[in-house]
Structure 1
Amino acid sequence: MARSLLIISRQAPWSGPSAREALDIALAGGAFDLPLGMLFLDDGVFQLAAGQHPDALQQKNLTANLQALPMFGVEELFACGHSLTRRGLDSSALELPVEVLDDTALAALIARFDQVVTL
């Protein structure tokens, strides 16, 4: 039986390669039918914000990668409600539908997975 994996993405899409690497791991795991989920935490919630213009920072747009997650079987997408609120993001205006979790639900989510990778 495959071990489940939770990928926690904590970096903004423009702060370095971590956001893209987290998405690459999720897409690869999904392609191999690995049971996995993805949690956007801290500045990682900025990856979900609509209307980004990464070209102004000479960065690649991650929107296409995010939208490909469900096509690769990565359907368990979560965001920290506290992180969204502190960064002024409304969950109804995000690029992807995510389940917004409070602190108690976050702890239960992390405990549910066999392995956790944080980027």
Structure 2
Amino acid sequence: MAKSLLLICRQSGGTAAREALDIALAGGAFELPIALLFMDDGVFQLPTAQQPAALEQKDLGANLQALPLFGVDELYVCQESLARRGLAEATLSVPVTPLHGVELPTLLARFDLVMTL
């Protein structure tokens, strides 16, 4: 049986953000059990109507939208990270399950492997 993987996305853009989504899409294509948790500045990947080209960054919106097509349905977001950055769940481009900080250890314990990017 394949080991389950939780990818924690803590950065808003750049190489780490792209790599996390690439890993999720590749693993999903092979039907591996993968979930993503967006926290800290990683929550900035989620709002709609972003303009990453203005910062000379690649638009990750299409990759986020493709996650369910690859079987990556478990998307979580740290509620405190959203609140600290002035973001509301209603403004996000993909459906996510909000978690409070006290719920994070339970989520982490569900997965065989945890990778932070």
Bin for the TM-score computed over the shorter chain: over 0.9
Residue from 19, 35, 38 that aligns with 1:37: 35
Structure 1: any 5+ residue segments left out of the alignment? none
Structure 2: any 5+ residue segments left out of the alignment? none
What SS does structure 1 have at the residue aligned with 2:18?
Answer: helix
The one-letter code of the counterpart of 2:106 is A
TM-score (norm 1): 0.96
Q: Which residue of 2 is the match for residue 87 of structure 1?
A: 85
List per-residue Cα deviations over 1:54-101 (Å, max 9, x = no partner).
111121110000000000000000000000000000001100000000
TM-score (norm 2): 0.98
What SS does structure 1 have at the residue aligned with 2:98?
Answer: strand
Deviation at 1:38, TM superposition (A): 0.4
| Distance in 2 separating the partners of 1:105 and 1:30 | 25
Q: Is 1:9 equivalent to 2:45 in the alignment? A: no
Percent identity among equivalent residues? 62
Runs of 4+ in 1 over 3 A off after TM superposition: none
What SS does structure 2 have at the residue aligned with 1:70?
Answer: helix
The one-letter code of the counterpart of 1:61 is D
Q: Which residue of 1 is the match for residue 50 of structure 2?
A: 52
Count of residues in correspondence between the two structures: 117
